[in-house]
Amino acid sequence: MTEASTNTPFHAWWEERGSANRSEVTRIPFSALDGWGFERQGGNLTHASGKFFAVEGLRIESDDGRQAHQPIIHQPEIGLLGILVKTFDGVPHCLMQAKMEPGNLNTLQLSPTVQATRSNYLRVHGGSRPRYLEHFWGTGRGRAPVDVLQSEQGAWFWHKHNRNMIVQVDGDIPVHEDHRWVPLPELLGLLHMDNLVNMDARTILGCLPAAMLPARTRTDAFGEALGQSYETGDGAQEALGWLLDVKGRGRWNTRLIPLDETHGWTRQDEEIAADDGSGFRVIAVRVRSLHREVPEWTQPLLAPRGDGRAVFLVRRAGDTLHLLVQARYEPGLLDHVELAPTARTPAIAADEEVPFLKDVLSADADRIHFDTVLSEEGGRFHHALTRYQVIEMPSDFSPDLRSEVGMNYRWMTVRQLMELVRHGHYLNIEARSLLACLHSLR
């Protein structure tokens, strides 16, 4: 059996990878994009090859006929995010990758074994095959305890979903210098480091089945209640009925439109921005890397204005921790409404206006059980940071869930969320990230 790791501690390896993967990302005007351009008819921002993604327009029509417009990223194909897992000395280890993405604040983040586009795994354009792909695609695939299609940000992506996989292997696996076997308990612990574990890794970890979770180690009152939340709550059938109630009340009229027709947005040389300064901008960058297969490239990125926040409010009911889950509409979600954290503020939102959030912004430190700034997908988003939090409310915190606002919220256990995350279209990307974070608190 191959050794799981050298004797180098994780942080030494990480630092060394950082030195070896230097790269430079610079803002450029759209006119300096190579292969990318605004289509003559409609003005969508596309690549000449038809590959990669496009920036198009989105029209959202509400029940009363009012319209809202915005740019949105459209990539009508399914990517593959996979973590290879092998057990060494009884402990599952994940083969993680130190990977550069142009939108990352800090260049490298800890990424899944494989992040592959459809072109990568089908090799339709004869390009190079990502390392370790053979374990996830084709006849050589191993046993997959996680294999599920999951959504991504419905505010920024049109109908984007990726295949989330965990594949278990027994045989010898050569470890490339950018890869490293990380024990699963240590990997979950790394979620507490700002901007380290990337979004693609988090969404996969959020799909972990109960059988793969490390044994509980925490024995304080919060830990006991959290542990009980993994055992309690039979069936999520009623929660699905509630989700359908929320979906049923809405009318979901969203459609792609030409980028030129997004009213309220203006294209300048270096950015496409909302006239009212809200939301995000579309920008362009040049990437110089000493390490990627393509040594230099240019691409558009979506740059949120300021940082966001994603919070699960939790409370102890009896001996069990419950999470206040929101059924949340996002215009780009394929199925319109998915289960989300209690509060999710996009960049620069007025946190005070978000239900339940105002009261906890100044919560005591001992009620904040998780609080880490983590990055969203660096291949598409520029410096998109989200502050992920798990905040405990007093046991008598009891919002009115029959009010017009409250109807979109429901108390659920971790076990119920884990049952639902086995299928797509149920938990949104931030809920899955926070589920991974909860796994780190056991």
Provide the 3-class DSSP secondary structure of residue 214.
Answer: coil
Closer residue to a second copy in complex, CB, 141/305: 141
Residues 25-84 that bind a second copy (CB under 8 A): 50, 63, 65, 76-78, 80
Task: State the Cα–Cα distance between residues 210 and 217, nearest whole angstrom.
Answer: 15
Residue 256: CB partners within 8 Å, gap ≥ 6?
Answer: 56, 57, 58, 59, 72, 74, 158
Closer residue to a second copy in complex, CB, 9/76: 76
Smallest gap from Cβ 112 to a second copy, in A, equals 16
Residues 127-156 that bind a second copy (CB under 8 A): 137, 141, 144, 147-149
Smallest gap from Cβ 222 to a second copy, in A, equals 33
Smallest gap from Cβ 1 to a second copy, in A, equals 27
Question: For residues 11 and 108, is the Cβ–Cβ distance under 8 A?
Answer: no
Residue 28 CB burial class (10 angstroms; 0-12, 13-18, ≥19): middle
Residues 230-259 that bind a second copy (CB under 8 A): 237, 240-241, 244-245, 247-256
Give the DSSP letter string of 140-184.
T--EEEEEEEEE--TTTEES-EEEEEEEE--S-----TTEEEEEH
Smallest gap from Cβ 144 to a second copy, in A, equals 6
What is the enclosing helix (H) or strand (E) of 432? helix 429-439
Closer residue to a second copy in complex, CB, 9/250: 250
**368 makes contact with a second copy (CB under 8 A):** no
Closer residue to a second copy in complex, CB, 236/310: 236
Smallest gap from Cβ 40 to a second copy, in A, equals 16
Closer residue to a second copy in complex, CB, 74/316: 74
Dihedral pair phi/psi, residue 105, rounded to 5°: -60, -35
Closer residue to a second copy in complex, CB, 30/121: 121
Smallest gap from Cβ 401 to a second copy, in A, equals 12
Site size with a second copy, rule: CB under 8 A: 38
Residues 308-347 that bind a second copy (CB under 8 A): 334-335
How many helices and strands, by DSSP H and E, does the chain display?
8, 25
Residue 190-229 contact track with a second copy, rule CB under 8 A, x = bound = ----------------------------------------
Closer residue to a second copy in complex, CB, 161/180: 161
Out of 93, 163, 180, 380, which residue is the one contacting a second copy (CB under 8 A)?
A: 163
Smallest gap from Cβ 136 to a second copy, in A, equals 10
Q: Comparing C-alpha atoms, which of 237, 430, 242, 432 is closest to residue 345?
A: 430
Provide the 3-class DSSP secondary structure of residue 80.
Answer: strand
Helices assigned H by DSSP within 206-236 = 221-229
Can you name the residues that pair with 205 across neighbouring β-strands?
none
Dihedral pair phi/psi, residue 290, rounded to 5°: -90, 0
Smallest gap from Cβ 394 to a second copy, in A, equals 28
Q: Which two tokens stand for residue 256?
A: 């792609």
Residues 413-432 that bind a second copy (CB under 8 A): 423-425
Nearest 5°: the CA angle 224, 390, 387 is 155
Residue 87-126 contact track with a second copy, rule CB under 8 A, x = bound = -------------------------------x--xx-x--
Residues 1-30 that bind a second copy (CB under 8 A): none
Exposure of 209 in the CB half-sphere (CA atoms within 13 A): 12
Closer residue to a second copy in complex, CB, 149/361: 149
How far does Cα 404 stand from its chain's mean position? 29
Q: Which two tokens stand for residue 190?
A: 């790394």
Smallest gap from Cβ 139 to a second copy, in A, equals 9
Closer residue to a second copy in complex, CB, 62/106: 62
Rg (CA), the chain: 22
Q: Which two tokens stand for residue 125?
A: 């354009």
Smallest gap from Cβ 211 to a second copy, in A, equals 13
- b/e code 355-388 from CB counts within 10 Å (16+ = b): ebbeebeebeeeeebbbbbbbbbbbbbbbbbbeb
Residue 154: CB partners within 8 Å, gap ≥ 6?
Answer: 330, 331, 332, 333, 338, 428
Closer residue to a second copy in complex, CB, 51/387: 51
Closer residue to a second copy in complex, CB, 50/394: 50
Smallest gap from Cβ 173 to a second copy, in A, equals 21
In the complex, the residues that contact a second copy under the rule CB under 8 A are 50, 63, 65, 76-78, 80, 118, 121-122, 124, 137, 141, 144, 147-149, 163, 237, 240-241, 244-245, 247-256, 334-335, 423-425
